[in-house]
Amino acid sequence: MSTFSFPVPQPMQLIDRVIDQALADQRLVGAVVLVARDGELVYQRAAGSADREAGRMMQADALFRLASVSKPIVSVAALVLVAQGRLALDAGIERWLPDFRPCLPDGGVASLTVRQLLSHTAGLGYRFFEADENGPYARAGVSDGMNQSAFSLAENLRRLASVPLLYPPGSNWGYSLATDVLGAVIEQVCGQPLAKAVRELVTGPLGMDDTGFVARDASRLAAAYVNDAPSPRRMRELDIVPAFEGTVGIRYAPARALDETAFASGGAGMVGSAGDVLRLLEVLRQGGAPLLPAALVQEMGRDQTGGRELPNAPGFGFGLGFSVLRDPAAAASPESPGTWRWGGAYGHAWFVDGARGLSVVALTNTLYEGMSGRFVADVRDAVYGIDRLEPRA
């Protein structure tokens, strides 16, 4: 239910309609949606089921497998180290990871920088983008950070470094395991495991007590579902679900969220609540204190791609940890230029429109509807007061 003691303004009624429609259409099993305007929480709703089979309803404090919503959290941790003078954006990472030296496409040895890792311009890729199991990442046994891996982060980086880069660093853009490499850099700089470092650098100072690399309270963890007809199916213990046509698919192991022995994947391995995600986004929207100086937050929101288009995302570039809207007309979006946006494969989306003082978080337990389906655009439009839903009979 919406948490208002006063008449709900029209955009908020539209968000209710969007959520209700997605549940009625069986495109979603459950969701938590939060909207903050100028620092005030103006909309909060938990709807549907956290665990359909167990009859457990969604609660506002539900825990979710964050997938790539992990990336801005770990990216901020790296930038805190930059602010402290312990890392430099444009210095090579070989000081911290001397053995991580992947070859260039022409056979030379590459030097990667923190900026290239943060902006996904380092030349790395993801196994799930490959067309089949004969791809180089598959042959090397690289983990994307969401499967049940029995090896360490160091071993995953060894496997990753054995595969040549897709392009020379800085010459292109490609979504990738770069944030996992960044996590290993953070470990070396801090001299401690990534989970502890992120806690000390980001989640602890902000009171993000629900957020970590393991779900501390299994009773609050939402089950994971996969879009299917006529209704979403529960994710299997080991599942492969293609995210894009012509790709081999993402390897999922939902129990990883409860496995303290799984390596900490900086790009995909965190667990958290919608409230914690909103807290971090609001800190960044308001300038970064107490974590970051405003200048570094501005750098996060500056397009780092050299004007390149993101695949299947016209009008968007990429900053340091999330995408940046360059051209609302090309994106067919009501959002303001400079809006930050990203999501997660388990079914999540969020955006920050700084020009309008808006931060919006929509975490669901249904992939991929909650990441890239109709629900994402419908929530966005509803926040801006745009009603694209068909009239009810």
pLDDT tens digits, 235-251: 999 999 998 888 899 99
In a domain, 4, yes or no: no
Q: What is the pTM of this model?
A: 0.95
Q: Kindly name the residue from 5, 49, 68, 333 that is annotated as catalytic.
A: 68
The answer on 341 and 240 residing in a single domain is yes
Residue the block writes with tokens 């930038």: 79
- 153 falls within a domain: yes
Contact (CB, 8 A) for 45 and 16:
yes
E-assigned strand segments in 248-354? 250-252, 271-272, 316-318, 323-325, 340-344, 348-353
**Tens digits of residue pLDDT in 283-293:** 999 999 999 99
φ, ψ of residue 82 to 5 degrees: the values are -65, -45
Residue 353 has pLDDT above 50, yes or no: yes
pLDDT at 6: 33
306 within domain boundaries: yes
345 with 360, same domain: the answer is yes
Residue 129 belongs to a domain: yes
Is 171 annotated in the active site?
no
Query: pLDDT band at 149, cuts 50/70/90?
Result: confident
Residue 8 pLDDT:
40
Give every CB contact of residue 218 below 8 A, 6+ residues apart in sequence. Answer: 258
For residues 198 and 221, membership in a common domain is answered with no
Give the CATH number, domain containing residue 314: 3.40.710.10
Pick the last residue of a domain from 165, 183, 203: 203
Residue 3 lies in a domain: no
- What is the distance between the alpha carbons of residues 314 and 300, in angstroms, rounded to a whole number? 20
DSSP-derived 3-state class of residue 153: helix
Average confidence score pLDDT of the chain:
94
Structure tokens belonging to residue 191 = 């001299």
Give domain status of residue 389, yes or no. Answer: no
Token representation of residue 349: 């989306």
Domain count for the chain, please give it: 2
Q: Give the helix/strand (H/E) hosting 31.
A: strand 30-37
The average pLDDT across 315-321 equals 97
Which pLDDT value is given to residue 12?
Answer: 83
Same domain, 357 and 240: yes
Judgement on whether residues 157 and 197 belong to the same structural domain of the protein: yes
**Among 60-69, 77-86, 98-107, 330-339, the least confident range:** 98-107
Same domain? 49 vs 113: no
The DSSP call for residue 336 is P
Structural domain span for residue 192: 72-203
Query: Average of pLDDT values for 218-227?
Result: 97
Does any domain span residue 316? yes
Over range 126-131, report the average pLDDT: 94
Max intra-chain CA distance, the chain: 65
Alpha helices in 84-177 (DSSP H): 114-119, 136-140, 153-161
User: CA 141, CA 73: separation in Å to the nearest integer?
Assistant: 26
Both 199 and 214 in a single domain? no
- Whether 375 and 281 map to the same domain: the answer is yes
In a domain, 142, yes or no: yes
d(CA 385, CA 185): 43
Query: Among 64-68, 267-271, 305-309, where is mean pLDDT lowest?
Result: 305-309
- Domain match, 349 and 366 both: yes
Residues 213 and 360 in one domain: yes
Q: Letter for the amino acid at 88? A: A
Do 192 and 299 have their domain in common? no
Q: Decide which of 184, 203, 222 is a domain's last residue.
A: 203
**Same domain (yes/no): 284, 326:** yes
* 322-330 average pLDDT score: 97
pLDDT band at 81 (very low <50, low <70, confident <90, very high): very high
